[in-house]
């Protein structure tokens, strides 16, 4: 069994959607908002693999221990669907409020939860 398959579920976070779920001025510093979300995710701990998908101005955000940052070369939603399909056999969950994206990943048997799951300070 590989190290990746020995880990718990995979949590894929729609960075733009989660950051945008709270009107805290994130639009003035998209990269900084994505970094704050990444750090909040890293503090969660646990045995889940966390993948934070970023796009646009947040593409330069670096990975940290506990959170792999995946910059989308184009559509963040398309990358999330690709990652969800690749990890569907590991109890994958996508964090987003985007209804269309939820439908797309559910086609692979992937679960979905809303932004409050990882950003309760709303």
pLDDT exceeds 80 at position 121:
no
Confidence class for position 33, pLDDT limits 50, 70, 90: very high
Contacts of 40 (CB under 8 A, 6+ apart): 118, 119
Radius of gyration of the chain (CA): 13
pLDDT exceeds 90 at position 46:
no
Confidence class for position 3, pLDDT limits 50, 70, 90: very low
The predicted structure's pLDDT at residue 72 = 95
pLDDT exceeds 80 at position 20:
yes
DSSP string spanning 76-120? HHHHHHHHHHHHGGGT-EEE---HHHHHHHHTTT-EEE-GGGT-T
Across 31-40, 44-53, 61-70, 81-90, least confident range: 44-53
Residues counted in the chain = 122
Angle between helices 99-106 and 76-87 (to 10 degrees): 30
Across the range 18-29, mean pLDDT stands at 88
pTM, entire model: 0.90
The predicted structure's pLDDT at residue 78 = 96
């Amino acid at each position: 069994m590989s190290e990746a398959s020995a880990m718990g579920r995979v949590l894929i976070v729609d960075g733009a959607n989660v950051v945008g779920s709270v009107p805290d001025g994130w639009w003035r510093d998209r990269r900084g908002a994505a970094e704050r979300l990444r750090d909040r995710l890293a503090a969660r701990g646990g045995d889940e693999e966390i993948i934070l998908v970023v796009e646009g101005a947040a593409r330069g955000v670096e990975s940290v221990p506990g959170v792999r940052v995946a910059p989308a070369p184009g559509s963040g939603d398309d990358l999330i669907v690709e990652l969800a399909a690749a990890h569907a056999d590991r109890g994958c969950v996508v964090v987003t409020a985007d209804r269309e994206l939820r439908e797309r990943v559910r086609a692979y048997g992937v679960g979905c939860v809303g932004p409050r799951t990882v950003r309760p300070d709303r």
